[in-house]
Each structure stands twice: as C-alpha cells, then as structure tokens.
C-alpha cells in the first residue's frame, strides 16, 4: 500500500512535511490486547454480498470453513459496524444455532453455542447487514457527480467492516466471492467472473468469482459500479486497467506499465504470477495512494491515470512507481505475507525496493539510482529524530497501533537497508536469496528471521548479523573516518541525531557493510562491527566511504579528505555519490557539526552539475536556510541574490526547451527555473513563468509539461484573481486527474490574502474531496507567507476542518504544524490540540513539536554562521 503522497508542485518543504507526518512512534501495546484466539483456523470463505447504493447499506451471508483445534463452546472473530441476523455452525454436518455477543472496543464478536463443538472441521454460517460508510475504509461509497460506487479498502484491519472474519494476516484462507448488483452495473474482485446469472429479483444480476489462493483477509476486494476497462495480456495473464467511464481514456499508460512489470517480475522472482488475471482500478475517493489487493489493485485516480501527451516526467515517474510498487506486492505481501503487522516492512520495504528496481529497468533514462539516493537522504533525516522506531517495530495489537506502523521507516528505511545488503552481496546473489525466501513461504506467512536466514544460507555471508543490527535497532550511525594510512583508515561509529541536543548512547553500535569507492566504478566492501576501529581502504584516489550512495549510514571526514571530495566531486564521484555527499554535509549542518557556509560552498561547487537529481538534492536545503535559518528580509534578500548569481548562468546555458529533450535535461531545466523563481525571485524568470502559465492553461499541449507545470507553480505564488479563477475552474471541470490535482494544490499557494482566504474556505466547502481537503490546509501551513493565516483559519473553523479529516489526513494536518519556528507558535499548537485532539494523531503532534524545536535550535546555531558567510559574498 502506498500511503504518503504529495503534489510535485507544492513548493518548498511540503513533501518533506508530508513524509514526516507519516512517520510515527510505535507504542508498546498495553494489556488487554485485541488479538484473536488461535484455537479456530479458517480455511475457506464463501461470501455473498448485495450492496444497495441508494440506501448505502448491504446485506450479506457467509460460510466459513474452519479447523477447530480443541473442543469449544465459543468462537471469537472480528466484526465492526456489522449487524448479525443469524449464526449457526455445522460440525460433522449437524446444525447448531448460536448467539452473538459484541465487544465494540475490541471490534470482536463471540459466537456462543449451547453444545460443545468438537475438534475437527466445521462450517460457520452467518447472515448479516452493514453500511456503506463515508470513511474511505471497509466497504464504502465512492462518489462522483454522476453516481455512487461501492468499493473496498481493508488494509490493515477493516475487512471486519464488510463481513465477520478472522481479520489477522496469519489467518490465511481461500475466498469465493459472490456479488448481487444492479442489472446495469458490473463488479470486480480478486478472481475472474466465472458465472453471471439474472436475479434474484428484478433489475439485479449475480456475479460469481473464481476462488482465490490462500490469502489474508486484508487483501480481499470487491468494487461495484459501471467501471470500464482497457485490456491486454502479459505472460499469458489477462491484465485490465479500469476506471469510471469518463476516466477510462486515461488507462492505457497504466496498462502498458503493468504488462511490462508483470513480465519483469516473473523473470526476476522466477516464480510466475499465480492468478489468471490482474486488474488495476482507479477509484474517485481513495485515502491511500494505492492498495495491493491480490489480483485487484486499487488506486487513487492520480496514482494510476494520466495522458502521456500532457503529463510531466514527474507525473509519469510517480504513476509508474505506484504501479510497480503494488505489483511487487503480489509476491511480497500477497503470496508471502508477514506473520504479524510488526513485520510490515517485509511487505512495504520490499515493494519500495522492488519498485525502484523495476522502474529503473523499464526507464533507465529516468536515472532511478539518483532518485533512490535522494530519497535515502530524506529517510536518514527521519530516522535521526528521537521518536523514530526500529524497522521491526514493537508488537502492536490494536487498530490504532497497527495503523501507525505504515510509515517512512517501514517503507523507506526498510527499502534502503535491503539496498545496502544487495549492494554488499551483489545483485544476482541477493536475487537468489529472495527467490529462496519466496519459494519457502509461498502462500504462507513469514518473519524477518526467515528472510535474513535465507540470504545467509544462500550467500554464506553474515547477512543475519547485518540485517538484525539494522532492523532491530532504531536510528542510524554516523561513521567518522580518519586520514588513510598504510592501506587502512580509522573509523568511529555512534548514533546520529539531527538535533545537537540529543545525545547517543555509547552502547548503540551497528554491524554493517562499508563500501569504499575505488574510482573506477567498482567498490571494496568491509564489514564494520561494534568492535571495529580500522578498515582496509583502496590505494590512492579519493576517500569516499559510501560507494554508489547505497549504504545506510552517515559519513564524516577529516578536513583534508573532505576538501579533496568537494574539489573533485565531479567527475570524481558518481551522481548518486554526490547526492550522498551533499546529504551527509547538510545533516551535519543541522546537527551543528558544520557551519552552514560550508554547505553553501559545497552547493556552489556543484552549481554546474548536469544531473537533475544532484542539483535538486543539493539545492533543496536552500529553502530551509531561507525560511528557518534566515530570520529577516535582508538575509533572505542576500540569499536570493546568491541564488541568482550562482544558478542563472547554468539555467541560461541550457537554452530554450526543445521537443524530444532527454528527461534529465527537462527536469534540470524545470528545477533551475523553479529555484530561480521561488528562491531567487529572478524578474526574468517570474515574467517567463506568467507567460508560460497562461500559454499552458490555453493549450496544454503547446508547452513542455515538465517546465510548464513548474512555471504554473511559480506564477501561482504571486498570482492574481484571474489565475486563481482559472485554476479553480480547471479543478472543477477538467477530467484529467493529474491536471485537476495540480490545479487544486496550487490554490493553496497564492500569497494574496484575499485569494488565500478563498483557497482555505474552498478546501472545507464540501467541493473538495475529504481525501484532499487536509492536504490543502497542510500546503498552506508550509508556505511562510500563508502559514499564520492558515493556522488562524484552522483554529477558527475547526468544526468544518475536523469534519473533513479521515484518520490519515488528520495525521498529515497535525504533522504539518511542525513548519512553525518559534516557541510561541509551538506552545500555541500544543495548547490547541490538547483541547481539540485528533484521532490517531498524537504521535504526529509529537513529531511536529520536535520539528519546531529543531528549527529553533537550527536558527540559533546557524544564523550567525549564515550572516558571516553572506558578508563574505560578492554583491550583484
């Protein structure tokens, strides 16, 4: 499942804020855990549902074949918002009627029978009713202006809202789904349709789907409405990309990605995709980014649908990555599932790692290794917060605890650790270990030890010790290297924190591979242990201790070695290594281990770098320096002048945007344009932004979309009412999901006070889907010029705001208050949410407060250094 997302055009720190809002501390489970007993094991469900979209209700019946381990008079399973009509059990063919007692707090139902049910096989029969809710979870209504749809989202603990079930991942079973729907509607589920019969009653028909493989309840899916699809095949598997009728024209791109990815995964895993069909379905209302239901993957419309003629490179990258992520889950998560949610990284970390591998193979021109290296910098920064948690989280049992496991550590850090180990073993050896793990646990459940034991057995190397060190411990090390001597270098490791006020425990040490770049594109790897003080290094050349930028650690060097790296970064280091170097130096600035001027000097040295991701990663902290380190208009004006002097020549060198330019060149031009517009406030760029924005809105195919979308974002910052009206109209009338999303997000970035007020009111007007409303407010909290008014609006319109919050969106909104940078604002945020708590957002609030405190500390430690550095710069 993809859960964290942000607009490419939401400027400055918004994407980083969204990621931080998605990172949660996992509390230790209290007494009174909500786990089910293990004396009854389901093996097969026959599930029949009849949704009524007009009344937003459904009726259902099910037969659950179970294996009872020991005699019992009661059976406990999960149910929420379900009304039981009747319950019976058939042990050995005899029927016993039961009664039901509900525990709403535990979301459990206990079925009690008058006679003892013997050990062995039995069938439970339940008739029930439920509601099609508006909460974007369980069995719910998804709405368009034309009609409603009934759709599902069950991960992690919401299958119980659609049917009574053993709603835990280890209770795998086979499912036979039957849906009774309106005559002119169709339905999609995990299996393919094997029967379509009229009735029961007038204007209805009954669709029966093929039986699924053994799988967990959270992977069941069914969708009802007038969906339309485009189709094809890959490796003999039928693949469809489906959407509402007005959106189906945007499905061919997704279909082509899916066809390519299925063949790629079949070859990589050497285990064929196990179902006969694969459907991808775009849903109008969908809280997550996408969901990997076995054979029936669901998406936000913006995560799947696009028009290649008008989509930016970034749009195409995002959709491709979303699809390859969810398709990787068909093996990692669906076929082989973590035993319990505290090992969710076995699903999400693997899918994140695999999405990058598959997308990079499909589109080498997108430079995925650089994107992975840049993403790792964000993850390392998240993991350097005091409230991080281990990849394998402490045990979580309640739905709220489980939901908090889906975060940047389980996704990003887990993926980066897998990359670290793959880089150490080699791609083919690692692939063999992956195959062994999947083959051993096919259609079953697995633990972290199962994976690293498979890799250890396959490779003969200490993968178990390395992975246990990185998976079980929270945080990350910083490795400080001495000057090389006699083929060796001294190394000291300790836990790294971004906040200089946080201090590492001396006992926190890691076992991990350290790979030195050799200067010829290869590497020499040594295993660092808690007792290691010296490592072998390659002879001659630069000392760079993170070859390919693939190691999960921070690095620090002695002044002479660091100076040599800066002077020879290009071409002495690969693009991914340059990203790692800049990421490490910025982290050291944040931790007050280096002056901010040293970082800006490093950026200056890279100003002519021709790799878009290197420039993007190197210049991203400039916005933090501009907003959080500089505290007055003079410092910001001087910093803007430096941006113009430093990067205007590089932008001019690129020349005009030409058709057919390589993706890297398109993105480099777009990034420099945005940097000069936002941070540099370059008059020529601002004028060009207005011109390109108007041209793009008149005819979207007349301008390069990658540059045009950035120009539109720059123009919106100082935009007038006419531009605001045009964007609002585009959101309300366009059928293109990406263009609608871009237009909506940009409404929150207008700095004009009257337009800001319009944007805030529009967000909670009911005209914006609740999957998006909180993101609009979060964007406004990130923009310095709109932050104060946005916060005032949220407080004064809390009833309206709160009504729009789904659980995930509540976390994002609360986490976004971490953009403030003063003690007064911090205290105000704390006080407000103490009186107006947001469900499942207490940890997001803690992160927000930490970010505010971190910003205060950063300004205190680095503003004098910035002033000194600015004073030494030449004038315009």
Return the active site residues.
Answer: 326
Q: Sheet holding 477-481: strands in order across? A: 534-536, 488-495, 477-481, 554-556
Tokens at 634, concatenated: 């003079």
**How far is the C-alpha of 348 from the C-alpha of 429, rounded, in Å?**
22
From residue 625, how far is each of 477, 595, 629, 636, 638 by CA, in Å? 25, 12, 5, 9, 12
Residue that is written with structure tokens 């959709």 in the block: 319
DSSP E strand boundaries for 185-227: 186-189, 193-198, 204-209, 222-225
Helix or strand or coil: residue 840? coil
| 3-state SS class at 535 | strand
Provide φ and ψ at 9, rounded to 5°: -105, 5
Instruction: Report phi then psi at 51, rounded to 5.
Output: -80, 140
Question: Are 285 and 270 contacting, i.e. CB atoms less than 8 angstroms apart?
Answer: no
Query: Nearest CA to 459 among 432, 420, 481?
Result: 432
Strand partners, 64: 45, 124
Q: Name the one residue in this structure whose structure tokens are 């770049």.
A: 517
Q: At what angle do helices 633-654 and 596-605 cross, to 10 degrees?
A: 20
For residue 742, give the nearest of 289, 291, 298, 312 by alpha carbon. 312
Kindly give the residue spans of alpha helices, DSSP state H, lying in 679-822. 683-698, 705-717, 721-733, 737-747, 753-763, 770-782, 784-796, 798-803, 807-816
What is the Cα gyration radius of the chain? 27
Spatial distance between the Cα atoms of 2 and 399, rounded to a whole number of angstroms: 18
Phi and psi at residue 220, in whole multiples of 5°?
A: -70, 145
Q: How many helices (H) and strands (E) does the chain have?
A: 29, 28
User: Strands across the sheet with 138-143, in order?
Assistant: 138-143, 148-153, 222-225, 186-189
Is residue 669 within 8 Å of residue 707, measured between CB atoms? yes
Q: Which helix (H) or strand (E) is 597 found in, with range?
A: helix 596-605
Question: Do the strands 40-52 and 174-182 form a parallel or antiparallel pair, or are they unpaired?
Answer: parallel
What residues pair up with 62 in beta bridges, in sequence order?
47, 126
Q: What's the rounded Cα separation, in Å, for the pair 115 and 92?
A: 13
Distance CA 835, CA 838 (A): 10
Q: Which two tokens stand for residue 77?
A: 């399973």
Cα separation values, 231 from 244, 277, 308, 735, Å: 15, 11, 18, 21
Write the DSSP symbol of residue 75. E
Instruction: State the chain's maximal CA–CA distance in angstroms.
Output: 92
Closest to 602 measured CA to CA, from 546, 548, 557: 557
């Amino acid at each position: 499942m993809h859960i964290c997302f942000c607009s490419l055009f939401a400027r400055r720190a918004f994407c980083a804020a969204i990621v931080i809002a998605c990172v949660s501390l996992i509390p230790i489970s209290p007494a009174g855990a909500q786990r089910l007993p293990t004396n009854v094991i389901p093996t097969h469900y026959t599930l029949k549902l009849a949704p009524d979209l007009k009344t937003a209700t459904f009726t259902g019946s099910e037969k659950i074949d179970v294996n009872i381990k020991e005699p019992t008079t009661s059976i406990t399973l999960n149910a929420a918002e379900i009304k039981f009509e009747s319950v019976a059990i058939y042990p050995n063919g005899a029927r016993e009627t039961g009664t039901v007692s509900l525990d709403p707090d535990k979301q459990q139902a206990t079925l009690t029978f008058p006679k003892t049910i013997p050990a062995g096989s039995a069938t439970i029969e339940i008739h029930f009713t439920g509601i099609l809710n508006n909460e974007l979870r369980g069995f719910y209504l998804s709405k368009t202006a034309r009609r409603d749809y009934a759709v599902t989202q069950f991960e992690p603990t919401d299958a119980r809202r659609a049917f009574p079930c053993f709603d835990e991942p280890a209770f795998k079973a086979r499912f036979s789904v039957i849906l009774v729907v309106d005559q002119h509607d169709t339905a999609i589920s995990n299996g393919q349709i094997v029967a379509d019969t009229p009735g029961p009653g007038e204007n209805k028909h009954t669709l029966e789907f093929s039986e699924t493989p053994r799988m967990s309840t959270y992977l069941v899916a069914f969708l009802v409405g007038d969906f339309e699809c485009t189709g094809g095949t890959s490796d003999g598997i039928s693949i469809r990309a489906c959407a509402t009728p007005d959106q189906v024209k945007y499905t061919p791109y997704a279909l082509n990605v899916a066809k390519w990815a299925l063949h790629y995964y079949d070859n990589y895993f050497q285990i064929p995709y196990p179902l006969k069909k694969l459907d991808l379905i775009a849903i109008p209302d969908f809280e997550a980014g996408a969901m990997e239901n076995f054979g029936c993957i669901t998406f936000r419309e913006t995560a799947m649908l696009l028009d290649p003629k008008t989509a930016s490179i970034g749009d195409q990258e995002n959709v491709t990555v979303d699809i390859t992520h969810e398709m990787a889950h068909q093996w990692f998560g669906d076929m082989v599932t973590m035993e319990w949610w505290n090992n969710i990284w076995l699903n999400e970390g693997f899918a994140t790692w695999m999405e990058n591998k598959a997308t990079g193979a499909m589109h080498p021109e997108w430079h995925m290794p650089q994107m992975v290296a840049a993403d790792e910098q964000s993850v390392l920064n998240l993991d350097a917060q005091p409230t991080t948690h281990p990849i394998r989280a402490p045990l979580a049992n309640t739905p709220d605890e489980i939901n908090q496991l889906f975060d940047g550590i389980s996704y990003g850090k887990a993926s980066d650790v897998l990359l670290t180990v793959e880089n150490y073993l080699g791609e083919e050896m690692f692939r063999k270990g992956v195959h062994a793990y999947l083959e051993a646990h096919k259609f079953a459940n697995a633990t972290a030890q199962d994976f690293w034991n498979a890799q250890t057995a396959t490779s003969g190397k200490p993968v178990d010790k390395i992975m246990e060190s990185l998976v079980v411990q929270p945080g990350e090390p910083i490795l400080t290297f001495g000057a090389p001597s006699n083929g060796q270098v001294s190394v000291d490791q300790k836990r790294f924190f971004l906040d200089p006020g946080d201090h590492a425990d001396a006992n926190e040490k890691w076992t991990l591979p350290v790979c030195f770049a050799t200067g010829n594109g290869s590497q020499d790897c040594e295993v660092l242990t808690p007792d290691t003080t010296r490592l072998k290094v390659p002879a001659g050349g630069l000392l760079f201790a993170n070859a390919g930028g693939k190691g999960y650690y921070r690095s620090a060097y002695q002044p002479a070695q660091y100076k040599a790296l800066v002077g020879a970064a290009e071409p002495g280091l690969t693009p991914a290594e340059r990203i790692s170097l800049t990421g490490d130096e910025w982290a050291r600035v944040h931790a007050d281990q280096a002056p901010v001027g040293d970082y800006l000097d490093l950026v200056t040295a890279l100003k002519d770098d021709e790799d878009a991701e290197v420039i993007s990663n190197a210049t991203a902290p400039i916005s933090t320096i501009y907003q959080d380190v500089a505290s007055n208009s003079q410092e910001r004006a001087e910093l803007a002048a430096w941006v113009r002097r430093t990067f205007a020549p590089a932008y001019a060198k690129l020349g005009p945007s030409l058709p057919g330019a390589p993706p890297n060149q398109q993105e480099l031009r777009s990034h420099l344009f945005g940097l000069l517009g936002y941070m540099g406030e370059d008059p020529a760029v601002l004028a060009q932004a207005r011109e390109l924005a108007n041209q793009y809105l008149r005819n979207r195919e007349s301008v390069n979309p990658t540059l045009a979308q950035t120009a539109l974002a720059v123009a919106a910052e100082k935009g007038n009412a006419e531009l605001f009206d045009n964007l609002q109209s585009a959101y309300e009338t366009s059928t293109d999901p990406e263009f609608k999303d871009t237009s909506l997000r940009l409404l929150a970035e207008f700095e004009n006070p009257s337009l800001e007020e319009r944007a805030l009111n529009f967000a909670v007007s009911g005209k914006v889907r609740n999957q998006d409303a909180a993101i609009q407010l979060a964007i406004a909290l990130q923009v310095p010029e709109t932050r104060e008014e946005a916060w005032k609006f949220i407080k004064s319109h809390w009833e309206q705001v709160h009504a729009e919050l789904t659980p995930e969106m509540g976390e994002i909104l609360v986490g976004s208050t971490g953009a403030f940078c003063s003690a007064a604002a911090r205290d105000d945020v704390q006080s407000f949410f103490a009186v107006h708590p947001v469900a499942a957002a207490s940890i997001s609030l803690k992160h927000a407060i930490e970010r505010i405190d971190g910003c205060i500390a950063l300004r205190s430690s680095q503003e004098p250094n910035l002033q000194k550095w600015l004073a030494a710069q030449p004038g315009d």
